Structure 1
Amino acid sequence: MAKYYESLDGVFAALADPSRRAVVQRLGAGPASVGELSRDLPITLPSFMKHIRVLEDSGLIRTVKTGRVRRCTLDRQRFALIDGWLAEQRRTWEGRTDRLEQFLLEPPEPTDES
Structure 2
Amino acid sequence: MSERIPCINPRCNCTAARDKFPNSDEIICGKCFRALPEAVRQEHRRFWREIRKWDRRIARTSDDIKIDRMRAIRDRVSRHLSWHWVREIKTFFLAPEKPAGLDTFLEEMGL
Alignment TM-score, normalising by the size of structure 1: 0.32
Larger Rg: 1
Alignment TM-score, normalising by the size of structure 2: 0.33
As a proportion of its length, which structure holds more strand?
1
